[in-house]
Amino acid sequence: MFAALDSIWHVGLPFAQTDGFWLPGAATTDPAMDRVFYLILVICSLLFLLVVGLMTFFLVRYRRLPGRKAEKTATQNILLEATWTVIPVVIVGVIFYQGFVAYMRMQTAPPGCYDLRVSARQWAWQFIYPNGHIDDNLHVPAGEPVRLTMTSEDVIHGLWIPALRVKMDVVPGRYTSVWFRADKPGAYDLLCTEYCGDEHSSMLATVEVQTREDYDAWLKDAANYLKTLPPAEAGKLLYKRRGCAQCHSTDGTAGTGPSFLGIFGKSQKMADGRSVIIDDNYIRESILEPQAKIVAGYQPVMSTYKGLVSDDDITALIEFIKSLSKKSPLRAPTHSVDRGEGQGVGK
């Protein structure tokens, strides 16, 4: 009986490839999720029609009429009770079976999956590629099974890719995983589905499904962004990817750390009363030895990036911070000669 149901549902599925009334167009030809969805939808719709239909019929049939007496309600009817117990049990059994099969399928990745890592944090996604590249968006090769191994750096998030019919919680302190096979090249939405704080609604990313060649070319190029982007742009990417954005804003609002807006070239008060001019060397020191000088009014909670960022990364970050000051810095750096002076300013 289940096999028969299976084949019925299989037949109706090609329309899932285009945007439907109920589900967005699928980028995968795996029918498991759609089958469960439409099965439940059809069962619920039929039951809805049955209940509303009977209700309407009874309303009319047994309405109050002059001279009509209300009939006594039956108090016990074994046959009726058995019927309305057995039929729902069968229906729930079918739904459970279909749901369980689809769930196990989603959980059990086929051998030879292409593995990517996902790290979620308030409020951004990071996708970590086999060659170490970290990206805000998810790129995957088409037609191959891909497995995401996911964890969160703070609260619970939820990864949802409607077009690929996968959704899984992303939990701090442990790993969860999903796999899928994206068959149709294109760009699809990826959303967070666990309410995770103020900016939850902007925790979005794009899934780029590319042919194998396009994907390989993209990955090679993307990993190389420090060499291909202007330093200030590369610094902006690092600012997001290395988590600086969690504590430092670029719009002037103080967070856990001071904002980066317009600070370059300014004089900053330290907790010990000294004043320091924010220049290349000060920023470099702040990144490598954050505890050396503590900004007045802030807690010494920034930990060192020594070993985590390269010299090129630091240069890019400095150029980014510099680019957030509208005017050129008034002072030259206080210690060493700065090669890239003026670059990226006013962007």
Find the shortest distance in angstroms from Cβ 278 to ligand HEC.
6
Q: What minimum distance in Å lies between the beta carbon of 139 and Cu ion? A: 20
- 3-class SS letters over the chain: CHHHHHHHHHHCCHHHHCCCCCCCCCCCCCCHHHHHHHHHHHHHHHHHHHHHHHHHHHHHHCCCCCCCCCCCCCCCCHHHHHHHHHHHHHHHHHHHHHHHHHHHHHHCCCCCCEEEEEEEECCEEEEECCCCCEECCEEEECCCEEEEEEEECCCCEEEEEHHHCEEEEECECCCEEEEEECCCCEEEEEEECCCCCCCHHHCEEEEEEECHHHHHHHHHHHCCHHHHCCHHHHHHHHHHHCCHHHHCCCCCCCCCCCCCCCCCCCEEEECCCCEEECCHHHHHHHHHCCCCCCECCCCCCCCCCCCCCCHHHHHHHHHHHHHCCCCCCCCCCCCCCCCCCCCCCCC
What x-and-dash track marks residues 152-181 binding Cu ion by CB under 5 A?
Answer: -----x------------------------
Q: Which does 140 bind (CB under 5 to 8 A by kind): ligand HEC, Cu ion, none?
A: none
If the CB atoms of residues 24 and 230 are measured against ligand HEC, the closer one turns out to be: 230
β-bridge partners, 116: 148
Of 238-267, binders to ligand HEC (CB under 6 A) are 242-244, 246-248, 256-258, 263
254: left (phi over 0), alpha (psi -120 to 50) or beta: beta
**Quick check: 234 binds ligand HEC (CB under 6 A)?**
no
**Partner from Cu ion, ligand HEC, none binding residue 268, C-beta < 5-8 Å depending on class:** ligand HEC
- Residues 195-224 touching Cu ion, rule: CB under 5 A, are 196, 203
State in angstroms the smallest separation of the CB of 272 from ligand HEC: 11
Q: How far is the CB of 222 from ligand HEC (least distance, A)?
A: 20
User: Could you tell me which stretch among 1-9, 60-68, 101-109, 149-157 binds Cu ion (CB under 5 A)?
Assistant: 149-157
Contact partner at residue 166 from Cu ion, ligand HEC, none, CB < 5 to 8 Å by partner kind: none
Taking the complex as a whole, the smallest distance from the CB of residue 313 to ligand HEC amounts, in Å, to 8
**In the set 192, 207, 238, 263, which binds Cu ion (CB under 5 A)?**
192
Residue 170 touches which of ligand HEC, Cu ion, none (Cβ within 5-8 Å per kind): none
* Amino acid at the residue 347: K
Q: Least separation, in Å, of the C-beta of 116 and Cu ion?
A: 18
Which of the residues 315 through 334 are near Cu ion (CB under 5 A)? Answer: none
* Tokens found for residue 184: 């149709």
Task: Rule CB under 6 A: say whether 334 interacts with ligand HEC.
Answer: no
CA distance 297 to 258: 9
Least distance (Å) from ligand HEC to the CB of residue 248?
5
Distances (CA, A) of 46 to 3, 16, 89, 95, 268: 21, 21, 16, 14, 69
Q: Which positions from 292 to 321 touch ligand HEC by CB under 6 A, shown as an x/- string?
A: --xx--xxxxx--x-----------x----
Residues that bind ligand HEC (CB under 6 A): 242-244, 246-248, 256-258, 263, 268, 278, 283, 286-287, 290, 294-295, 298-302, 305, 317
Residues that bind Cu ion (CB under 5 A): 157, 192, 196, 203
